[in-house]
Structure 1
């Protein structure tokens, strides 16, 4: 049995803490996000098993100009963060080369294949099976050309354990009934899923962690090196695990690692789900992607959320209110049954330029492990990452190869 300190109490940190406790270790999580404002608790709630193709691809690079926020798209490059996104973009271009892209697919595919089974196991173990909904998701288009091109693209894409089907006539009619615009095309994925409520998930994971004997330490994690080993200020731990999302960069670079990670900022708006007297967002409807507007709408227990945008910026820069305003405009223009007052949120996805996570053991300190950089897939990959880290910390051979996720790939 080892004593392990985890820096970061997001979904990856909590899932890993539970796995380590179940393996017989003593675990403390150090986290100062007591209000649950991190990206773990503000995302689209989507278990995205279909996203086996890294976003670092030549297809994405070729589409950059039409995706720019200034042209109505979801991609923002704030001028104030040019020193961040230029070097990140150059590394992304290198990672997008066909050979590296194929290796990225080969690395992500087995992780994503195990992600849904890992989620099923986790929610059963913590006594909250109703938090996981395995009902797929929809993608739709309103324009005829966009529908043809989008359908062809998805049918040709590698989607791992998820299957793509043309939406039935009844499903298309139901989707068309959500708004005022006719639906030109729609597909339904099976094999994917969603979390029923992110707030409830956070509480269930925290409860499961403490019930198993884990300790929550409400402070910001600070690391120091002593005698070739890492220590967490104020925490007695033999082993240290960094799961601090975007904050992992400063922690790891302080120890000498190269971590070319950027804060990929996303925005969402939320509204009460059932306050309208008439039309409302169906409670049993899976997430819906409005692909032409790069927007995903998710129904949670009591709220409906619309989310979008990829803003490559600084962690602590002020939010750009134009992003929220555009989301609200999308909802209004489509005539969706979502009505304010809206609650606004912005959070930072921890993204590395090859769109692969960093999971491994440090070469700089003998007792340091890490699991961060899961970009859009943090929620999806949290339980399988936890299993891999628990094996690694316990001195066992992980069930999947971790070499593609070694942070030394950026050395």
Structure 2
């Protein structure tokens, strides 16, 4: 495909960056994606594979703040605040509390609702364009509780929760029969309809990179360094008309030296993977809500994932998290046998749990799309559509004002 438009450097080749590259190439831009990693080990390719259209309520909420004590790792929960990383999470926690008022929570929900409403249609369009429709499984997901008491509380909580375009159905006898491999009968279960899953994240990564190359784009295997000159941002050693930062958790280190306030933290998640021989091939993702764990079957493996650990993106992983995941697998009687591959990756999370999508008001040629926390995979194609429209001078289908990075330039606790 011939590109004749402005030359754009995309800094960060995760799922958001690659989707943006394809959308911009399809509009005639010349695109180079700077991505040093070649092992597909970033959060984009290690997540739960869940297209979470139901998560329209931001995680910065009054309920989340009130639930912190019982969610802590030391109390058996999935939230970890390592004392050794307090310098990272204490300032973030102060900002998150400030962003969790009822009014701000309502505003965040209003902002995310149209964004997530476009997520599944955008994914359908993307896999169709890639020629890989089987990568998207639109079979929903299952939520399971250990006991009838927690099931009643969980059902009530979901009944009060805004879930966007998704729907909830009770688990019928057939579904409960399919979960018969569990060591104990489930206390209760529901099925979400309208959500989905990516069948294999590595295959998705390679398909996206191939689509970039097929359109004349470049994948540059080096780390980009940014500098500013005369009101513009440049990639050191290269000449581009525009720069789009999609570097996930690394976006903070790229932009703060240029004068931007990016109060983002690494929200570290853990997973274990093993051969999928014993896991039903057609079972959608299963969320074990009492254990804050999601189990996903991919093409050649099954994965159990959990934990929200706030801290240093480059800090050493905590083996206790993997040990607990393996304990959950054994105690639930899941048909997953080791040896397990272990992974830890960092979600890019801003304190109000909204992404940063927009154009700089200080540097005319700079744009950004990062900070999607748990929704990076879900929102990648729709984010790309919005970014491409914005850079072309068109009106994006979803208002981008709530996602402007300047929302953090006002007074408040510094991170």
- The TM-score, its normalising length taken from structure 1, stands at 0.98
CA distance in 2, matches of 1:400, 1:112: 10
Q: Structure 1: which 5+ residue stretches go unaligned?
A: 275-279
Does structure 1 residue 76 correspond to structure 2 residue 80?
yes
Aligned residue runs from structure 1 range 83-162, under 5 A = 83-162=87-166
Aligned partner of 1:221 among 224, 233, 246: 224
Partner of 1:64: 68
Residue aligned with 2:314, SS: coil
Determine the C-alpha separation between the residues in 2 that align with 1:50 and 1:296. Answer: 15
Matches within 5 A, 1:282-321: 282-321=280-319
Q: By how many angstroms is 1:301 displaced? A: 0.6
Q: Given the alignment, which residue of 395, 403, 408 partners 1:410? A: 408
The residue matched to 2:58 in structure 1 has which SS? coil
Q: Give 1:256's aligned residue.
A: 259
Deviation track 1:43-94 (CA, whole Å, cap 9, x = no partner) reads: 0000000000000011111111000000110000011111111111111111
Q: State the partner residue of 1:332.
A: 330
**1:277 corresponds to which residue?**
none
Residue 236 (str. 1) matches residue 234 (str. 2):
no
1:401 is matched with 399
Which residue in the other structure is 2:375 paired with? 377
Q: Counterparts of 1:221 and 1:154 in 2: how far apart (Å)?
A: 43
1:295/1:308 contact within 8 Å kept: yes
> Could you give the per-residue CA deviations for residues 361-380 of structure 1, whole angstroms, max 9, x where no partner exists?
01221100000000000000
Secondary structure of the equivalent of 1:221? coil
Which residues of structure 2 form unaligned runs of 5+?
Answer: 410-415
CA distance in 1, matches of 2:39, 2:146: 38
Contact 1:45 1:194 in 2 (8 A): yes
Q: Distance in 1 between matches of 2:201 and 2:112?
A: 24
Give the SS at the match of 2:163: coil
**SS in structure 1 at match of 2:190:** strand
**Aligned residues, how many?**
405
Corresponding residue SS for 1:123 = helix
Could you list the structure 1 runs, at least 4 aligned residues long, displaced by more than 6 angstroms after superposition.
none
Matched residue SS, 1:14 = helix
Deviation per CA, 1:185-241, whole angstroms, max 9, x where unpaired?
A: 000000000000000000000000100100010001110111111111233210000
Q: Give the Cα–Cα distance (whole angstroms) in 1 for the partners of residues 342 and 99 of structure 2.
A: 33
Deviations, residues 131-159 of structure 1 (Å, cap 9, x unaligned): 00000000001112111100111122100
What is the alpha-carbon distance in structure 2 between the residues aligned to residue 216 and residue 351 of structure 1? 25
Give the SS at the match of 1:189. strand
DSSP 3-state at the match of 1:248: helix
- Determine if the alignment matches structure 1 residue 54 to structure 2 residue 58: yes
- Is the counterpart of residue 345 in structure 1 residue 317 in structure 2? no
Correspondent of 1:201 among 193, 199, 204: 204
Work out the CA distance in 2 between the residues paired with 1:221 and 1:272.
36
* Residue of structure 2 in register with 1:189 after alignment: 192
| Cα offsets for 1:265-312 (capped at 9, x unmatched) | 0000000112xxxxx110010000000000000000110000000000
Aligned residue for 2:38? 34
Matched residue SS, 1:205 = helix
- Distance in structure 2 (CA, Å) of the matches to 1:405 and 1:392: 13
SS class of match (1:151): helix
